[in-house]
């Protein structure tokens, strides 16, 4: 009897020794919501496995025997080599997992214990700013409602995803998008904590995701912007780091780069695309769209985290559209739309650097002086009513997509008055110089043209630019037709055709002609009087000659009176009478 008991004790000690030697312990860290795989050692997989039993905290979880799986949960699966798969892990999945391998004769071949620690993915928010909690898993087709919770307390419920933001929650800082994303505005320190989102079909929970939110003060936060394909430098630390510092850059809970003992290492997708120096600066090259998001830096002292900082990197794409010209009093409709392939989480409209409108989910905000004259649509396009000349300028819209991706569109607007019909004022300056003035209701930003006789353009060389190009001096021509044509970015008009001639200088010519004519008349009169005087002198001289002739004739008659006939005397007398008559 004693020998039998001694043999039993010896067998128990040997089996305990073999069992303890076959037992291994491993630690596994993972994020909630991800699938978890627990592998067996290769030596164990090569054994003739007949039965595999998995337990969680000593409670049966699943068994695989003769190729048949026995499990009470659809999220648990055992592969033929003994590997355990946990689908979409929850916070309750943390614990100790034990696997036992048995041979066909029931002997234990191996035993292993896994300490599983599941943590919610960390999301960082910035105090006084907005943050987004994005779902990793897409919304299922039979999902009827989305329930967000903080520390197991309901935050917001959306019963119909087609109509987001419908909830009885009194905190207006919370809103939910159609894809289930939770938006929280004006983040506060007491918003730090654990968040859970559940998809439900109305009867049961279809999917659950977990988040751990940490809120930073703005002193430890910076914003950087980089173009796709370019480089960006990140450094939020307000202090100067020293040689030999140890710090780690992380993004989405994954290590991006580490600096330790004056040696830098870049990980995963950032290999060959990042540089780190001793002052904490992280330089990323050949930026990609997925590089956008919040980067966290942890500074270690003696193995402990001493300080933390954050940088939000926006990967932006800037597009400049063609300028637009509008008329005062009308409405400008800017059809600038977001990318149809991306979900927009925020839309900011600015004029230069001043906000004029913002669309956040279903929340609209408008700012002075456009508060009562502007409206934004869900696709990002905007309408500005009752345009004024002061509305001219450069406008930009920023579309914010998931994980720090930003698209920026720029457009310039020119607002001008509609031009009225101009008039032309004509003034003769000299005999061969005419001044024309084009009178319009607007001169700023207006181009002006002159047409002579409705066909000949007057070149710019003849324009007097000192008076805003509305003055024309025309030289070398006194008569003709002129018209003024004005045009700005929104309208054009022209004056009536104006005939012109210099009346002042025409009157001078008439007076000059009259003076010349009067002078000619006077000269003719003077010539007439001179002629009459000459004729009178001629007659007088002839009369004296005639009288002298008569005197001589009388003497001759006296001498010949005795021998001449009286008839001849009478003839001489008649001739003298005719001469006198003439």
Mean pLDDT for the stretch of residues 253-277? 89
pLDDT of residue 470: 81
Contact 125, 137 (CB under 8 A): no
Architecture per CATH, domain 122-216, reads as Sandwich (2.60)
d(CA 392, CA 377): 21
Q: Which residues pair with 56 in a beta bridge?
A: 59, 97
Lowest mean pLDDT among 150-154, 279-283, 449-453: 150-154
Look at residue 239 in the predicted model and tell me its pLDDT.
57
Return the CATH number of 321-416, one of 2.60.40.10, 2.40.40.20, 1.10.150.530, 2.40.30.10.
2.60.40.10
* pLDDT for position 8: 38
Closest to 349 (Cα-Cα) out of 374, 318, 314:
374
- Residue 193, φ and ψ in degrees, nearest 5: 155, -170
Say whether domain 423-504 belongs to CATH 2.40.40.20.
no
- Topology match between the domains 122-216 and 423-504: yes
Is 97 within 8 Å of 27 (Cβ atoms)?
Answer: no
pLDDT of 261 above 90: no
Is 90 exceeded by the pLDDT of residue 385? yes
Q: Could you tell me how many helices (H) and strands (E) the chain has, helices first?
A: 4, 44
* The pLDDT of residue 555: 63
- Within 13 Å, how many C-alpha atoms sit on residue 539's CB side? 10
- The answer to whether residue 20 scores a pLDDT higher than 50 is no
pLDDT given for residue 258 in this prediction: 92
**% residues pLDDT > 70 (the chain):** 81
Look at the chain and count its residues: 582
Q: Which of 11-15, 153-157, 167-171, 534-538: highest mean pLDDT? A: 534-538
Omega within 30 of 0 (cis) for the link into 369: yes
Confidence of residue 183 (pLDDT cuts 50, 70, 90): confident
Q: What pLDDT, in 10s, does the model give residues 525-545?
A: 888 888 888 878 877 777 777
State the helix-helix crossing angle for 503-560 and 566-581, rounded to 10 degrees.
Answer: 170
Cβ-Cβ contacts under 8 Å for 574 (sequence gap 6 or more)? none
**What one-character DSSP code corresponds to residue 558?**
H
287, pLDDT greater than 90: yes
Residue 241 is predicted with a pLDDT of: 56
Contact by Cβ (8 Å): 30, 116: yes
Mean pLDDT, to the nearest integer, of 490-519? 75
pLDDT in the model for residue 5 = 36
pLDDT greater than 60 at residue 324:
yes
CA separation for the pair 347, 358 (Å, rounded): 6
Q: Where are the domains of the chain?
A: 2-119, 122-216, 218-316, 321-416, 423-504
Average pLDDT over residues 73-88: 86
**What average pLDDT score do residues 432-461 get?**
79
Q: Residue 12: is its pLDDT beyond 70? A: no
Residue 444 pLDDT more than 80?
Answer: no
Q: Report the pLDDT averaged over residues 144-153.
A: 81
Q: How far apart are the first and last CA of the chain?
A: 210
Distance CA(114)–CA(498), nearest Å, equals 101
pLDDT tens readout for residues 85-131: 998 888 888 999 999 888 878 788 778 899 998 888 888 888 888 88
Average pLDDT over residues 306-324: 87
- 274-276 and 282-284 beta bridge pairing: antiparallel
Q: What is the pLDDT of residue 561?
A: 53
For residues 137 and 182, the answer to whether their CB atoms sit within 8 Å is no
Question: Which region among 116-120, 295-299, 391-395, 402-406 has the lowest average model confidence (pLDDT)?
Answer: 402-406
What percent of the chain has pLDDT above 90? Answer: 16
pLDDT above 80 for 482: yes
| Rounded distance between C-alpha atoms, residue 358 and residue 352, angstroms | 15
Average pLDDT, the chain: 79
| pLDDT, average across residues 249-256 | 88
In this prediction, residue 165 carries a pLDDT of: 43
Per the model's pLDDT, the better-predicted residue between 556 and 39 turns out to be: 39
Residue-wise pLDDT tens digits, 205-220? 888 888 999 888 877 7
Q: Which residue has the tokens 């289930």?
A: 180
Q: Check residue 577 and report its DSSP letter.
A: H
pLDDT tens, position by position, 334-381: 888 777 777 888 899 999 889 999 987 777 889 988 988 999 888 888
Domain 2-119 in this protein, CATH class: mainly beta
Q: For residue 361, count other CB atoms closer than 10 A to its CB.
A: 20
**Cα 284 → chain centroid:** 25
C-alpha to C-alpha distance for 124 and 213, rounded to whole angstroms: 6
Query: How far is 361 from 184, CA to CA, in rounded Å?
Result: 11
Two tokens at 557?
Answer: 């008659």
Return the percent helix, strand and coil in the chain, to nearest 5: 20, 45, 35
Superfamily in which the 218-316 domain is placed by CATH: Immunoglobulins (2.60.40.10)
Q: How confident is the model at residue 315, as a pLDDT? A: 92
The mean pLDDT value for 274-287 works out to 90
């Amino acid at each position: 009897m004693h020998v039998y008991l001694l043999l039993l004790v010896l067998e128990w000690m040997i089996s305990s020794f073999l069992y303890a030697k076959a037992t291994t312990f491993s630690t596994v860290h993972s994020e909630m919501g991800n699938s978890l795989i627990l592998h067996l050692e290769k030596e164990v997989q090569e054994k003739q496995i007949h039965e595999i039993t998995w337990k969680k905290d000593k409670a049966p979880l699943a068994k695989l025997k003769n190729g048949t799986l026995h499990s009470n949960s659809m999220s648990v699966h055992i592969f033929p080599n003994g590997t355990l798969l946990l689908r979409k892990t929850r916070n309750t999945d943390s614990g100790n997992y034990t696997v036992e391998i048995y041979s066909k004769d029931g002997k234990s071949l191996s035993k292993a214990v896994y300490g599983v620690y599941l943590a919610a993915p960390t999301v960082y928010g910035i105090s006084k700013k907005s943050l987004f909690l994005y779902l990793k898993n897409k919304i299922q087709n039979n999902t009827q409602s989305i329930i967000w919770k903080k520390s197991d307390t309901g935050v917001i419920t959306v019963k119909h995803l087609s109509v987001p933001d419908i909830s009885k929650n009194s905190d207006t800082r919370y809103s939910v998008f159609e894809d289930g994303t939770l938006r929280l505005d004006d983040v506060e320190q007491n918003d730090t904590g654990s968040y859970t989102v559940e998809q439900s079909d109305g009867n049961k929970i279809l999917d659950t995701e977990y988040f751990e939110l940490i809120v930073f003060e703005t002193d430890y936060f910076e914003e950087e912007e980089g173009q796709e394909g370019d480089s960006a430098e990140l450094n939020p630390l307000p202090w100067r780091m020293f040689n030999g510092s140890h710090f780690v850059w992380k993004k989405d809970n994954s290590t991006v780069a580490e600096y330790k003992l004056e040696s830098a290492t870049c990980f995963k997708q950032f290999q060959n695309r990042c540089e780190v120096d001793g002052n904490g600066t992280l330089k990323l090259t050949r930026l990609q769209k997925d590089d956008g998001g919040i980067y966290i830096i942890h500074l270690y002292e003696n193995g402990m985290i001493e300080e933390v900082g954050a940088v939000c990197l926006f990967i932006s794409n800037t597009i400049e559209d063609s300028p637009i010209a509008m008329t005062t009093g009308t409405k400008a409709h800017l059809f600038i739309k977001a990318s149809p392939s991306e979900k927009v989480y925020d839309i900011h409209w600015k004029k230069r650097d001043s906000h004029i409108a913002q669309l956040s989910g279903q929340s609209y905000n408008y700012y002075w002086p456009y508060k009562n004259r502007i409206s934004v649509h869900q696709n990002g396009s905007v309408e500005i009513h009752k345009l004024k000349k002061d509305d001219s300028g450069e406008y930009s819209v920023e579309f914010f997509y998931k994980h720090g991706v930003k698209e920026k569109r720029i457009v310039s607007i020119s607002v001008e008055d509609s031009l009225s019909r101009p008039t032309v004022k004509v003034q003769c300056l000299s005999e061969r110089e005419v001044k024309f003035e084009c009178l319009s209701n607007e001169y700023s930003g207006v181009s002006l043209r002159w047409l002579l006789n409705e066909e000949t353009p007057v070149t710019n060389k003849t324009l007097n630019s000192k008076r805003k190009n509305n003055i024309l001096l025309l030289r070398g021509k006194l008569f003709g037709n002129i018209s003024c044509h004005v045009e700005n970015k929104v309208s054009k008009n022209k004056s009536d055709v104006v005939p012109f001639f210099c009346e002042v200088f025409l009157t001078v010519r008439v007076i000059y002609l009259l003076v010349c004519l009067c002078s000619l008349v006077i000269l003719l009169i003077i010539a007439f009087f001179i002629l009459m005087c000459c004729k009178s002198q001629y007659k007088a001289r002839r009369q004296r000659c005639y009288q002298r002739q008569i005197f001589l004739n009388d003497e001759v008659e006296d001498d010949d009176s005795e021998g001449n006939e009286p008839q001849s005397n009478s003839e001489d007398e008649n001739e003298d009478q005719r001469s006198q008559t003439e």
